Structure 1
Amino acid sequence: MKKMLFYVAVLLATINCYSQIEFEKGYFIKNNNERVECLIKNEDWDNNPFKFKYKLNHGTSEIFNTIESVKEFGVYSFSKYIRKIVDVDQSSNETSKLDGSRRPILKKETLFLKVLVEGKSNLYGYKRGNLKRFFYSKEENPIKPLIYKRYLNLKHNANLSSFNRSIVNKNLTRNFIYVNDRYKQQLFKNLTCKTISLKEIEKLRYKKQSLSKFFIKYNKCSGYLIDGQYEKETKGFFKVSLKGGVRITSLDIDNSSRYLPSISFDSKTTYKIGVEGEYFLPFNKNKWSLFVEPTFQFFSAKKELPFESLVEKKIIAETNYKSIEVPIGIKRYFFMNEVSKMFVGGSVVLDFNFDSYLRYTRTDGAVIKDFLVRTTNTIGFHIGYIYKNRYSLELTYQNNRDFLTTYYNVRSRYGSMSITIGYTF
């Protein structure tokens, strides 16, 4: 098993060489308005970046560019960012952190705004963690924030004692939360068109998809053809795979009682079979995914040991362990070329065993001790290769789990390494 761990380390060390294909045709504009055609590392940024990597061509080294030296950059047919100084509302949208003011907390910041829609009127987006804000501009006018803020209706519980008010704030309902949705008024006042009704604006949500559809409709209504949308939507999606393979397992029992011996069962090769459900997250070009993989596995072994306490001077230890393992975890993918990619991942492995036992018997078959098998959860480490988004080969290492959790004087270590092949539907 140590040798297999060494191979995992080698594979992880070589994975960095596959990042080069992420460089795609793009450009950036310097502060002196010089436009540079280049290859930009397209990371499909979830949060708006403050810097990016580029190459002048495939044969050159990577270079960093920052927001201080670049006023605009983009990846062709994918995304575009422009540097602007804008007022950003710093108010939290988390219910537990809402304040009692209707006014946004505006602070000037220099940002790379993501261009979502371009035309007579432009829509921009900004995301930093849980902070999501949208901005707009019309023709040559300055970029302005679209105002949206959730806040507490403190007048509603102003007469409550401080103790009762704290209880109310911990159990907020919609009756205690107001919304400043001035962005609707801004759009109704500044972006009017014959095909857009007041009712349509009233239904607008402060979401990228909803606002993008509105701005596209406004630009078309205004007679401005949109020359391709820079914002190429990365959507999440779900896949199901059938998986099966072999695993090398080992089990050691340390018995501190002098009445029964400790034992190390020989490593065994068994099989496993399962189904994986995987959701690819809608950012970073779907390089991150969440997965769950219910899997049937088993381990069966029998061993004869010397034991002076018995007349026959021997004792037999036997185990039969069957369970449904449920790894729940996350993967990170690395593209090698158009048909191949690799991934690394980690998981928490839940274990549900059934009809399992550890038993000590005499040589004539008489039972000396039956142990009830109750296992702990553990963690898993995954590395794999995907071909044509359909065929997979995966190496998984699971850390030792306790095999007999209900016995204070017995310690056990059950670990495994597995090789799995998969087919994605």
Structure 2
Amino acid sequence: MKHTILFFITIFTLNGYAQISYEPGYFINNEDQKTNCFIKNMDWKNNPTSFEYKLSETTIESNTATIETVKEFSITNSVKYNRFVVNIDRSREIIKYMSEERAPSFNEEILFLKLIVEGTANLYSYEDSNLGRYFFNIDSPNTNPEQLIFKSYLDSEDEGEYKNIIRTNNAYKQQLLNNLNCSSISQKDIKNTNYKERELKKIFENYNKCKDPNYESFSIKRPKKDLFNFSARLGLSATSLKIQNMPIPSWDTNFDSKLTLRIGVETEFILPFNKNKWSLIVQPTYQSFKSEKEITYLQTSLVTKKTIVYVNYKSLEFPIGVRYYSFLNADSKLFFNLSAIIDMPMSSSISADRAEGTELFDLDISSKPSFALGAGYNYHSKYTLELTLLTSRKILNNHPSWNTNYNNLALTFGYVFN
């Protein structure tokens, strides 16, 4: 079992380094030299500090360029980053770490900023984990941009009933009023603009159109992403069960492995970064295991008897996990899952009677959470085949004198409705 788990983890880890996608682009170095190349598109969630590139599509070896040597880089029809020296406020939005100061706390940093709107007024974004900031400059794209100020803070000076109230510094609205002065943008427009990319982008594009009637928006034409997938799943499991009674070893039972049916569905949410390689999955699944086994138990210290131990185990499993994709070509991809399983047994028990007909034991089944490792193949985003290893599950949680090992190795076929 341990070796099998190690195998899955090794495959998952190695595969993370195997997927390479280089796309046409360019970068400009500190000497203003432009190099056309092929850049590894990581579909960065957080703004990068470096990137990999090749000088030709057929080159095997890649090079790494860093923020110290590159002032701009772009991937055609995907993204563009510019290097700037900026003052950035990294104040936290989590209450535990929230500042009591209304004013931003700036630090000077060298960052790659992502271009959102290009024109007379330029809008940039910066993201780092849960931190999101927007920057702008007017008339000169080479001028270091200014941060649009938005900050949540704790007001601990309130003398009334409530203390430590969360307040918001929305100074970015005044910055927009002061700098984006145009007849097509009203005070109400800015007042209703939230600190979000889509809404800020609209304001900046309106300003650029006001200043230049021939203005064309800087836009990235990305393929439409299906953020949700829903699939039906049908599979077979090689299932086994071993139960042990610590005070009375003669009650121990090792049920033979058998094939069982699994029926379920899957809901998948594609995470909108890193080229659709990551997703969250939920896989409600009905499973059952019904078996019997003859054992010889001690009736007294000198007398042994035979009886049959029955197991009738039905449950709804709720695996909740994360999936990683490795794209082989336009139609095929591999995927790897890691899930935590919440199991909900339904009228399930393990029981046995003595030879004379009285009850030997009757145990209701109650499960502890377990885990699952899966690897599979997806064809044409329509058909899936997945091999899943479920780690050993304890199913007699309400009976501390019993130890159980319920094991599953499942092969599941899925059909995606999209």
- What's the TM-score once normalised by structure 2's chain length? 0.91
- Which stretch of the first structure deviates more once superposed, 265-274 or 283-292? 283-292
Superposition pairs of residues 8-87 of structure 1, within 5 angstroms: 8=8, 11-12=11-12, 15=15, 18-20=18-20, 22-57=21-56, 58-87=58-87
Q: Alignment partner of 1:194: what SS?
A: coil
Structure 2: how far apart are the matches of 1:5 and 1:179?
48
Q: What one-letter code is carried by the residue in structure 2 that aligns with 1:377?
A: P
Q: 1:270 aligned to 2:269?
A: no
Distance 1:119 1:359, change over 3 A: same
Structure 1: how far apart are the matches of 2:331 and 2:232?
20
- Which stretch of the first structure deviates more once superposed, 263-272 or 94-103? 94-103
Q: What one-letter code is carried by the residue in structure 2 that aligns with 1:348?
A: A
**How far is the alpha carbon of 1:100 from its aligned partner?**
2.5
**How far is the alpha carbon of 1:46 from its aligned partner?**
0.6
Q: What one-letter code is carried by the residue in structure 1 that aligns with 2:211?
A: S
Q: Alignment partner of 2:157: what SS?
A: helix
Aligned to 1:172: none
Superposition pairs of residues 163-202 of structure 1, within 5 angstroms: 168-169=163-164, 176-202=165-191
Kept in 2: contact 1:235–1:283 (CA 8 A)? no
**How far is the alpha carbon of 1:243 from its aligned partner?**
0.6
Aligned to 1:91: 91
Aligned to 1:146: 148
Structure 1: how far apart are the matches of 2:42 and 2:278?
12
Kept in 1: contact 2:125–2:135 (CA 8 A)? yes
Kept in 1: contact 2:5–2:373 (CA 8 A)? no
Q: What one-letter code is carried by the residue in structure 2 that aligns with 1:125?
A: S
Superposition pairs of residues 407-422 of structure 1, within 5 angstroms: 407-422=399-414
Q: 1:376 aligned to 2:365?
A: no
Q: What one-letter code is carried by the residue in structure 2 that aligns with 1:245?
A: G
Kept in 2: contact 1:234–1:286 (CA 8 A)? no
Structure 2: how far apart are the matches of 1:391 and 1:205?
41
Q: 1:355 aligned to 2:347?
A: yes
Q: What one-letter code is carried by the residue in structure 2 that aligns with 1:396?
A: T
Q: What one-letter code is carried by the residue in structure 2 that aligns with 1:408?
A: P
Structure 2: how far apart are the matches of 1:117 and 1:231?
14
Aligned to 2:311: 319
Structure 2: how far apart are the matches of 1:183 and 1:234?
31
Unaligned runs of 5+ residues in structure 2 are none
Superimposed CA distance per residue, residues 288-340 of structure 1 (whole angstroms, 9 cap, x where no aligned partner)? 11111110000111111233438673121111100000001111111111111
Distance 1:420 1:259, change over 3 A: closer
Q: Alignment partner of 1:155: what SS?
A: coil
Superimposed CA distance per residue, residues 24-68 of structure 1 (whole angstroms, 9 cap, x where no aligned partner)? 111111111111111111111111011111112233212211111
Kept in 2: contact 1:291–1:329 (CA 8 A)? yes
Unaligned runs of 5+ residues in structure 1 are 170-175
Q: What one-letter code is carried by the residue in structure 1 that aligns with 2:203?
A: F
**How far is the alpha carbon of 1:249 from its aligned partner?**
1.1
Q: Alignment partner of 2:101: what SS?
A: coil
Distance 1:408 1:212, change over 3 A: same
RMSD (CA atoms): 2.4
Q: Alignment partner of 2:251: what SS?
A: coil
Superimposed CA distance per residue, residues 74-121 of structure 1 (whole angstroms, 9 cap, x where no aligned partner)? 110010001100010122222333222221101110000000110111
Q: Alignment partner of 2:68: what SS?
A: coil
- What's the TM-score once normalised by structure 1's chain length? 0.90
Aligned to 1:387: 379
Structure 2: how far apart are the matches of 1:85 and 1:9?
41
Structure 1: how far apart are the matches of 2:167 and 2:330?
49
Q: Alignment partner of 1:374: what SS?
A: coil
Q: What one-letter code is carried by the residue in structure 1 that aligns with 2:416?
A: T
Structure 1: how far apart are the matches of 2:144 and 2:284?
54
Aligned to 2:115: 115
Q: What one-letter code is carried by the residue in structure 2 that aligns with 1:412?
A: T
Kept in 2: contact 1:247–1:271 (CA 8 A)? yes
Superposition pairs of residues 204-283 of structure 1, within 5 angstroms: 204-223=193-212, 224-226=214-216, 228-230=218-220, 237-258=227-248, 260-283=250-273
Q: What one-letter code is carried by the residue in structure 1 that aligns with 2:75?
A: V
- Count of residues in correspondence between the two structures: 411
Q: Alignment partner of 2:348: what SS?
A: strand
Aligned to 1:106: 106
**How far is the alpha carbon of 1:257 from its aligned partner?**
2.5
Structure 1: how far apart are the matches of 2:298 and 2:365?
26
Q: Alignment partner of 1:419: what SS?
A: strand
Structure 2: how far apart are the matches of 1:2 and 1:177?
49
